[in-house]
Amino acid sequence: MKADYERYHIAAKDAPPKIKLPPKFIVNRYNNCTNAQECTQACIYGVHELREDSQIAEPIQDLCRGCYMCVLKCPKGAISIGINPEFERLGNPYFSPDKIKTIYFEAETGRVPVSGAGYTGPFAGEGFDSIWLDFSEIVRPTRDGIHGREYISTSVDLGRRLQSLEFDENEKLVSNVPRTIEIPIPMIFDAPLSCRTNRNLQLALAKAAAGLKTFAIVNAREYSSDLTHYEANLIPRIDSDEIDEFEDLVKISQIVEVEFRGGEIKDHLEKIKATNPSALVSFYFPYDKEAPERADAIARMGGDIVHIHVDDGVVERDPDAIKNAIRSVHSHLVDKRTRDKITLIFSGGIAEAAHVPKSIILGANVVAVGIVYQIALGCKVCYGTMHSQDCQMNVENGDVELATQRITNLIGAWRDQLLEVLGGMGLREVRRQTGEVGRAMFYEDLEAKVFGDKE
Amino acid sequence: MMQKELLFQVPEIKPAPSQYPGSIEKYEVIIDRSKCSMCGICAEVCPSYIGASPIDYEAYKKPNGYLRLTVPKVSCTGLSCKRCVNECPNSALSVELSPQYLALGDLRWTADLILSTWEQAEVGRVSKKHEYKIGDSGGGFDKLRFEFELEHKEIHEDDLVDEENRDTSIVLNKRKDGRPEIKIPIPVYGADMSFGSVSLNVMLARAKAAEAWNTFTSTGEGGYPDVLTQYKNHVITQVATGHFGVNAETLKRARIIVLKYAQGAKPGLGGHLLADKVTPDVAEIREVVPCISLFSPFPFHNVYSVEDHYRHVQLMEDVNPQALISVKVSTPTDVDMVAIGSYYAGAHILQIDGGYGGTGAAPDIAKKNIAMPVEYAIPIVHNYLVREGVRDEITIMASGGIRTAFDVAKAIALGADGAVIGTAELVALGCKRCENCERGKGCPSGIATTDPALKYFIDIDWGSQRIINLYSSWKEQWSYVLRKLDLKNIRELRPNDEVQFRKGRFKHMVHLDHLR
């Protein structure tokens, strides 16, 4: 008998990048080397190898992990190790070189990054870095999810929820239960930045979304015919002024995202529901001070999903922006008693695995992963300033499979890390994490409580 | 036991220099070959080169076209000297921070902290060349100062010599329950590090140093290797969720048993020992199959409530009626509730392991993001236990990110009785915090390794002397702090009442970010 239950699993497969990152360390050997070969003995990573003529070859920079054993063991002081300036120039202050290195590791292997020694970073930071996650100890049981010993669900529902069910006198359900779509991970893909979008990237994204059973957002104007095969996993994003133009896309999609540019929310909704009554409607707009009000209005009017975006460039300058955006929208909807009616998606500034549970704790249901998957494919986080000649993010015709696997690996690694966090917190499902700020500790609060004047 | 304490002699400092010919220097002298006339004046004026001949100045080409002087085993004293630069008739020299120094370390363990710890391990005292008190993490201990530190920025080396050698001892059992008090002469003992995460030689070196200082080290969760029994009076037996090597014998042997409920570096997760490091030796002691990754379960599946916790502690007390029970927990939001629970469960020692603690292998997401730093947890727990009126019946040992003698002193001033030291001991043995302990052969320095060849990098006698020297230097610094604060002993440094900062000040302490 065929089991009707299938445990969700993301299959990782090694997917080395087309262009490697520059190595973190630079190993120099000076010309006072006397070929004592102590370094070849000292290095367990194979940086220092012998040539065929028994002389020491040039150091293989890529393999160096900065242990300094060659420096210490060289009798002549002929070796030095330094940080590679090219590595340090990667990314920007927000997407730091180390973050990019981690993204590459996750995309290549699909594994959870594990390392020795304690944490090496700053005491605290801004934005997501000002949050520590809670965990269970003694009095609250944890769950052992990562090694499969206990089942933890990472599924979430997209769509509208009823606050209560109504029945008539014959105990027959009279409420019209709205449609929801369950996805097995609380992550969807945001549309790629427009600077380097091509059909191959869209295709890889669509394939990854289909394989992961989640969704990818595609700008309606870039929705090419070869994507229609993956229509079940694509969300077209349509400008609110242009809904009529993309009637065909609305018809075939399970979810339609309206990029809100003004006009009446109700009109947009009706237009889409008239064309495709079963489609879920998501409203997409950048965060501003009217965003909480607008989200509330959408919840009242019958929208299914609100997707609020904080520009990655804004988060780079002010890492608190995304944190504040999520908190203010979530709290506003809680105050207005409309929070549970809709699904909240946030995007922008999502740079590492921990940002997913942190966003959810702050109040998101789902996170739209954006620039990170582009970094995994070679994006240098220039926000369009370098233009095409330096841009290394180009998915060639033959690379779609590789790109798909790298995106899949990345999300697989992130899901496993989400499981680690949920397990540590003792949560059985990620749905229960939304808005649970009690499960987070905030730098500002602790600092004020312990070292400030506040009791 | 009493007798032993009376007979305790402070161990002697003996030089324990690096076992390698090369060194990592903070400064390097750069020579511009196009200007150098090879006159040798620089060698003559260099204070580090007294007695050396100009021949020692061997110039050679750097890939970028510059030249560099070799300085084998002789340290440049740095930017404050610059005599060679000033005396060079051709202005061919400059002194710069070396690329090694710039690449070494991280924000928590800066290159200076690593180098100063090495220096203390070698000679048993600090010098002014390296910053040895704080790191660069921008918060917690790195922003806390003793008030007297604001007056003089630097300690003069003479300041450290303390004829009186103040009392830095603490008592580990305050319950007066008939079990031994166990007094240790320094307010620290060694952290839990398993056989598997570190090599046997490292365990033995640590245990030998613990014996010399009449304090403790711990087995970690990886079992109790037989050779360690020679130090059994100074070895804590750990009971962790993997229960490796935990049996009646190893529990009865110990003067302290630690129940590890969580570890700061990976709270909410069990131990990780990746397959590469599970060698046949490690597997035998853990009673498992070699070359399989070991992920300990989490949590203790027999402890899901405070009542279970009580039974767990009582069980250990029953197995060994003479042992003190230490409860090792990490720092969730309700760490104060956990603490009071452990007090009522009967624990003698509460070890609070903060989120930035060390590990042989942990997911990066856990190291960075889970649990609060220990700098918050200490006063939160201390204050709660003071309010509950039980503070003086339990010993609080802080761990997780305590790197220096000053960190220990600050932890005590925030409300802990003492500290548990892990990474600093390994740095004394030559660790560079390269974060590569987890897989493959493990540690290239032969510390956090199980590779049968690499472990011989650490000689047991040499290693124990390095740790002894480090603690000698630390004791001198604690005496200095006590003298500056006019306190007779380190127990007086711990506040009796609640820790409450006002305008960035509390008793002897200031927090630079809140100072008004």
- ipTM of predicted assembly, 2 dp: 0.93
Q: Give A156-447's CATH code, choosing from 1.10.3720.10, 2.60.120.380, 3.90.950.10, 3.20.20.70.
A: 3.20.20.70
Tell me the H-state helices in B152-258: 157-160, 200-212, 248-253
* Rg (alpha carbons) of chain B, rounded to whole number: 24
Return the structure tokens found at A235: 């969300």
- Distance in angstroms (rounded) separating the CA atoms of residues B388 and A5: 51
Dihedral in degrees, nearest 10, Cα atoms A421, A424, A428, A429: -20
User: Which residues from chain A sit within 8 angstroms of residue B441, using beta carbons?
Assistant: 44
The whole-angstrom distance between B181's CA and the closest CA on chain A is: 27
- In chain A, CATH 3.20.20.70 covers 156-447
* pLDDT given for residue B240 in this prediction: 92
Determine which helix (DSSP H) or strand (DSSP E) holds B273, and give its type and residue range: strand B272-273
User: Which residues from chain B sit within 8 angstroms of residue A71, using beta carbons?
Assistant: 22, 24, 100
Question: Does B68 contact A30 at a Cβ distance shorter than 8 Å?
Answer: yes
Return the structure tokens found at A185: 């991970």
pLDDT per position as a tens digit, A22-31: 999 999 988 7
Residues A4-8: contacts with CB within 8 Å, 24+ apart? Answer: A7/A151, A8/A154, A8/A155, A8/A184, A8/A213
* pLDDT given for residue B385 in this prediction: 98
Rounded to an integer, the average pLDDT of A236-265 is 95
Question: Does B423 contact A117 at a Cβ distance shorter than 8 Å?
Answer: yes
* pLDDT given for residue B50 in this prediction: 44
- Relative to beta strand A280-286, strand B27-31 is unpaired
Burial class of A335 by CB neighbour count within 10 A (0 to 12, 13 to 18, 19+): exposed
Strand partners, A153: A429
* pLDDT given for residue A1 in this prediction: 53
- Distance in angstroms (rounded) separating the CA atoms of residues B440 and B311: 40
The whole-angstrom distance between A84's CA and the closest CA on chain B is: 9
Is A269:A303 a contact under the CB 8 Å cutoff? yes
Reference B353, options B137, B366, B344; nearest CA is B366
Residues of chain B with pLDDT under 70: 1-6, 38, 40, 43, 48-75, 152-164
DSSP 8-class letter at B167:
B
User: Which residues from chain A sit within 8 angstroms of residue B295, using beta carbons?
Assistant: 146-147
As separate numbers, helices (DSSP H) first and strands (DSSP E) second, chain A gives 15, 15
Q: How far is CA B393 from the centre of its chain?
A: 26
pTM above 0.95, yes or no: no
Domain A25-88 classification at class level: alpha beta
Residue type, B141: F
Residue of A138, A446, A454 to mutate, interface with B, max B Cβ within 10 Å: A138
- For B294, name the nearest residue in chain A, comparing CA atoms only: A147
> Could you tell me the CA-to-CA distances from A416 to A115, A153, B1, B94, B339 in Å, in that order?
16, 11, 50, 51, 31
* Rounded percentage of chain A residues whose pLDDT exceeds 90: 77
Reference A313, options A414, A265, A385, A259; nearest CA is A385
Tell me the H-state helices in A49-162: 69-73, 85-88, 97-109
Domain boundaries, chain B: 27-103, 170-511
CB atoms within 10 A of CB B497: 12
Question: Does B332 contact A43 at a Cβ distance shorter than 8 Å?
Answer: no
CB-nearest partner of B70 from A32, A139, A438: A32
- Distance in angstroms (rounded) separating the CA atoms of residues A49 and A59: 7
Question: Does A73 contact B99 at a Cβ distance shorter than 8 Å?
Answer: no
Question: Does A423 contact B98 at a Cβ distance shorter than 8 Å?
Answer: no
Reference A352, options A99, A10, A97, A116; nearest CA is A99
A-B Cβ pairs (cutoff 8 Å, strict): 281
Mean pLDDT of chain A: 92
- For residue A350, is pLDDT > 80? yes
CA atoms within 13 A on the CB side of B42: 29
3-state SS, residue A131: strand
DSSP 8-class letter at A120:
-
Return the structure tokens found at A283: 């409203």
pLDDT per position as a tens digit, A147-189: 667 889 999 999 999 988 999 999 999 999 999 999 999 999 9
Q: Checking phi first, is residue B235 left (phi over 0); if not, alpha (psi -120 to 50) or beta?
A: beta
Question: Chain A contact for B309, CB < 8 A?
Answer: yes
* pLDDT given for residue B92 in this prediction: 83
- Distance in angstroms (rounded) separating the CA atoms of residues A156 and A366: 8
Strand order in the sheet with B395-399: B188-190, B418-421, B395-399, B349-353, B324-329, B256-260, B235-239, B217-218
Q: Please tell me the CATH code under which domain B27-103 is placed.
A: 3.30.70.20
User: Which residues from chain A sit within 8 angstroms of residue B292, using beta carbons?
Assistant: none
Question: Does A120 contact B107 at a Cβ distance shorter than 8 Å?
Answer: yes
Question: Does A77 contact B329 at a Cβ distance shorter than 8 Å?
Answer: no
Return the structure tokens found at A293: 């009000």
Residues 235-294 of B with CB under 8 A from A: 261-262, 264-265, 267-270, 272, 274
Reference A189, options A172, A166, A167, A214; nearest CA is A214
- Relative to beta strand A343-347, strand A305-309 is parallel
Reference A329, options A301, A294, A282; nearest CA is A294
* pLDDT given for residue B516 in this prediction: 86
* pLDDT given for residue B467 in this prediction: 98
Return the structure tokens found at A390: 């330096």
Q: Sign of dihedral through CA atoms B299, B301, B302, B304?
A: positive
- For residue A236, is pLDDT > 60? yes
- Distance in angstroms (rounded) separating the CA atoms of residues B292 and A255: 45
- Distance in angstroms (rounded) separating the CA atoms of residues A340 and A359: 17
The whole-angstrom distance between A243's CA and the closest CA on chain B is: 42
DSSP 8-class letter at A90:
S
Tell me the H-state helices in B178-302: 200-212, 248-253, 280-286
pLDDT per position as a tens digit, A377-423: 988 887 766 655 667 777 888 899 999 999 999 999 999 999 999 98
Beta strand extents in A36-190 (DSSP E only): 79-83, 114-115, 131-133, 156-159, 180-183, 187-189
User: Which residues from chain A sit within 8 angstroms of residue B341, using beta carbons?
Assistant: 138-139
Burial class of A390 by CB neighbour count within 10 A (0 to 12, 13 to 18, 19+): exposed
- Distance in angstroms (rounded) separating the CA atoms of residues B270 and B361: 11
Start-to-end C-alpha separation, chain B: 49
The whole-angstrom distance between A287's CA and the closest CA on chain B is: 26
Determine which helix (DSSP H) or strand (DSSP E) holds A424, and give its type and residue range: helix A400-425
* pLDDT given for residue A3 in this prediction: 61
Domain B170-511 classification at class level: alpha beta
Reference A141, options A413, A426, A356; nearest CA is A426
- In chain A, CATH 3.30.70.20 covers 25-88
Lookup result for tokens 């021949």? B55
CB-based contacts of B72, cutoff 8 Å, min separation 6: A76, A77, B21, B56
User: Dihedrals φ, ψ of A366, to 5°?
Assistant: -140, 150
CB-based contacts of B163, cutoff 8 Å, min separation 6: none
Burial class of A314 by CB neighbour count within 10 A (0 to 12, 13 to 18, 19+): middle
Question: Chain A contact for B420, CB < 8 A?
Answer: no
Residues shown for chain B: 516
CB-based contacts of B84, cutoff 8 Å, min separation 6: B29, B41, B42, B45, B46, B93, B95
- Distance in angstroms (rounded) separating the CA atoms of residues A259 and A236: 10
- For residue A67, is pLDDT > 80? yes
- Distance in angstroms (rounded) separating the CA atoms of residues B217 and B220: 9
pLDDT per position as a tens digit, A186-202: 999 999 876 666 889 99
Reference B162, options B482, B412, B508; nearest CA is B482
Question: Chain A contact for B298, CB < 8 A?
Answer: yes
DSSP readout, B458-474? S-HHHHHHHHHHHHHHH
